[in-house]
A and B are shown apart, each in its own frame.
Chain A
């Protein structure tokens, strides 16, 4: 593909960036402010969509910084990530409006502004043409997401924010060291499909560079033992957890690892240096460990956080296996997981806004109250486990085949074990939601693995046990209700909350039934062809 100089990649970064001052300026008029967010989201998606359809590879040189030429380059892998983030930002913006207004959150202007800044930084990470550009936007992403993590302003939130910063900026420092080494060894920092030359000249330094890059970027990709920030960051509002921590931030980490392994070192150099196997082992361990720990989480968002950690390792493992099929599966999984996980987070947030419940043990029988939401949850969870007809099956299929065809077929076991563990976590939740009872008197209402959290004694209804609001209880909430009120699917929640959930789960099903319908399949194919030749 020939390089075409154009402003499109820069526009993809600038449109969300320009929304930031506009949002900050319209803080006093919430509807105008939300309009800016939605306009910017649609605009970014339009720009990225046009870039996908344009012939040739769009490049925007960004001038020189500290003696290195920076540029944005919309190649296949970058566009895959950018298109994903742009699509999900539209859905998340609508959802955010519903969520923040539904809960009456404070600091909404700062929230939406930081969100727009985070998306701008994500676009920069996706479309970076070289390691230094990627690093600049990577660090900007950390700075932009910090106010979102610490949004609530409580001591827990501030502490989570500090943990987040410590881990991610610490990882950034290590990645910086790796970038320096690559620069000195290879003489240039640009991404080349299949790897730059010169990195195998000095094996010790080459391995050190690989290690620094992968560990540094692996912090954001939540590879065990660098994952502790992710569950802590769940204190952030759910749309933040959804888009940023299940899509943008962690996917930036996984994406940066992918760039390092496939576009800086390349499959040949990585296997020559012998560094891919340790990475694959670390990913496999993370996969299983996180799934095991997640099994015991009663707080739904914590369980989803551990599931994210586990699923990200699918991507890292797929990349570390260094075969075209596994890499293809990994790239597809970037997309599939994003749609499924964001559906789950949206559903969790919707549950919290509508009923005040955060804990799985309190959600028995909630399918009566939120039928459409819990159906979407069930479908997305099925996809995560790997059931056919949902996006997760397609990506997992390729990952498992790729692992089987790689020099180390033992990793297939990791995928299968993790899948079973996820089934063990999600299935009881779904079953309890539809077949359980709110008073938890039947076995179906209790999760076999996740111990219920400590709840205050007495019958203070939903408000007492979860701290949230209970929709108008005629008796003042003294008696603990034994069943959720039944709602029809159209009336169960605010449209701003429900429509994005249905949209993302619909996309997950679409990608599962007709994977080639959206550009992601083609972009992943092109990327793999570029890298592996």
Chain B
């Protein structure tokens, strides 16, 4: 009982609290901001509690309004959900505190809505409800991207809106077909119902295809990735960090749930073509993302392309459908969220402090800010996939899964992706440390901040968040076996 209420609270708290800053901020921006921070911190606490219960007592279920799940809205939390919810809460809080310059009501409300939407996607057990929360988080994201003002941001937000809406609509179409085939929208009931309807029937295959493509847009798999670099580069730094860490991560989680929880591995066996297509798209994403990142001068765009590549790796894990590979996909998901979020926060802080936005402008900045430099280097190492970070552990599981399954091409792609990521990440880190030009202390931010500054305290928060993220990628790597064991019951339940 209590556990179920926790789940509902997890979504309700930020959703309801989102209304408050709209009215509070015009009178007292600082109180509004403090309230938002408090709600986000509370969210972290709730997420931790849910994780505790899920670990000790097993999966939690809840039905909204007491209506049975087959007709109403069900919420569900197993260990994977708990980990994701914790990730969303921490990411939401971390990215928020790292940039203290935004205090207007709409921004704060939208941020809470974003967190609510993302959390909702994670805990929902109903495919249509997933669409609703996907759109809530999406709309909040589009508006937040546009918050930066200026033509670039507006254009990027418009592109993001168009592409995102198309993606969500495709997903909705898929949900519709699934409903037509089975008459239910609850994930738990859909799984046997779809099997009964016949996994290889045109309706069911179409449903999966549409849902997967729709989510693939949100995941930014090649060739549906073009919105990502623009959105991440033009958004305000905190928004970019939150989106990078959480946006596609939650979409990947949704894809996992849909693929393994709703359609089940039996679907893959009935329609092998789907698996091949998924693996092919993911492999191309890995390579394309890496290649596009190689020559990219703008740091945030480079990181966005890197995300395309990393989510390709996750896609490979999803497509391989073996316990080892899935564990690798999950580790890659978590590791990427932490590393990419930290890198974006760092990029934002560096842009604020030194006015550096391109790889060339990053030259020698590690001398002026050694902590940022070391943290960026550590997170880059995780992106590349070198020991002892969680990125390496993820690649190990993925590659091992591929070799065990006899997919040599996939194994080669996973192993060689290290070289690609090395090329673009190494470029950044090398410039950071060995570039010339960082020792001039008189060079300050290139453009003056357009909102009220906070006297430098914000950057200390940003640095703290970055250092925590860097420490986490190493800690999670060292604890990778424990993390894999955490996910094991879920993975085994699926396969």
Residues of A within 8 A of B (CB): 63-68, 135-136, 139-140, 143, 147, 150, 153, 158, 161-162, 165-166, 169-170, 172-173, 176-177, 180-181, 183-184
Contacts and interface: CB of A to CB of B under 8 A. Distances in A.
A176 B399 CA distance: 9
A153 B411 contact: no
Contact of A183 (B400, B419, B477, B480): B400
B397 A66 contact: yes
Nearest to B394: A66
Given A176-B415, A177-B415, A65 B388 contact: yes
Given A65-B387, A67-B484, A158-B434, 4 more contacts: A67-B397, A177-B399, A177-B415, A183-B400
A176 B403 CA distance: 12
B387 A165 contact: no
Contacts of A165: 422, 426
A63 B324 CA distance: 19
A183 B324 CA distance: 13
A161 B324 CA distance: 36
B400 A184 contact: yes
B393 A66 contact: yes
A136 B416 contact: no
Nearest to A178: B415
Contact of A153 (B396, B426, B434): B434
A180 B399 contact: yes
A139 B484 contact: no
A121 to B, nearest CB: 11
A521 B386 CA distance: 36
A153 B436 CA distance: 9
A150 B434 contact: yes
Contact of A66 (B418, B430, B480): B480
B381 interface: yes
A177 B396 CA distance: 10
Pairs of residues from A and B, 4 with the lowest C-beta to C-beta distance, nearest first: A64-B481, A136-B387, A66-B393, A66-B396
A184 B434 contact: no
A139 B386 contact: yes
Contact of B403 (A65, A140, A162, A184): A184
A161 B430 contact: yes
Task: Classify chain B's interface size.
Answer: 20 to 34
A136 B434 CA distance: 25
Interface of B: 324, 327, 381, 386-388, 392-393, 396-397, 399-400, 403-404, 411-412, 415-416, 418-419, 422, 426, 430, 433-434, 477-478, 480-482, 484
Given A140-B387, A161-B430, A173 B400 contact: no
A162 B484 contact: no
Given A153-B434, A162-B430, A170-B419, A135 B403 contact: no
B321 to A, nearest CB: 17
Interface centre among B387, B418, B433 (most CB of A within 10 A): B387
Given A139-B386, A158-B434, A65 B415 contact: no
Contacts of B426: 162, 165
B434 A135 contact: no
7 contacts: A65-B388, A66-B481, A67-B480, A68-B481, A139-B386, A162-B426, A169-B418
Nearest to B404: A184
Nearest to B406: A184
Contacts of A63: 478, 481
Contacts of A180: 396, 399-400, 403, 411, 415
B416 A173 contact: yes
Contacts of A136: 387-388
A66 B392 contact: yes
A173 B478 contact: no
Contacts of B397: 66-67
Given A66-B392, A66-B397, A140-B387, A169 B422 contact: yes
Contacts of A65: 387-388, 393, 477-478, 480-481
Contacts of B386: 139, 143, 169, 172
Q: Which of A63, A64, A180, A181 has the most CB of B within 10 A?
A: A180
A65 B400 CA distance: 14
Given A65-B478, A66-B484, A143-B381, A135 B387 contact: yes
Interface centre among A67, A147, A165 (most CB of B within 10 A): A67
With most chain B CB atoms within 10 A of its CB, the pick from A66, A68, A180, A183 is A66
Contacts of A135: 387
A79 to B, nearest CB: 23
Nearest to B435: A158
Nearest to B431: A158
Contacts of B482: 64
A465 B51 CA distance: 70
Nearest to A170: B419
Contacts of B388: 65, 136, 140
A115 to B, nearest CB: 17
Nearest to A133: B387
A153 B433 CA distance: 10
A65 B484 CA distance: 10
Contacts of B430: 158, 161-162
Contacts of B480: 65-67
Contacts of B484: 66-67
B269 to A, nearest CB: 23
Contacts of A68: 396, 481
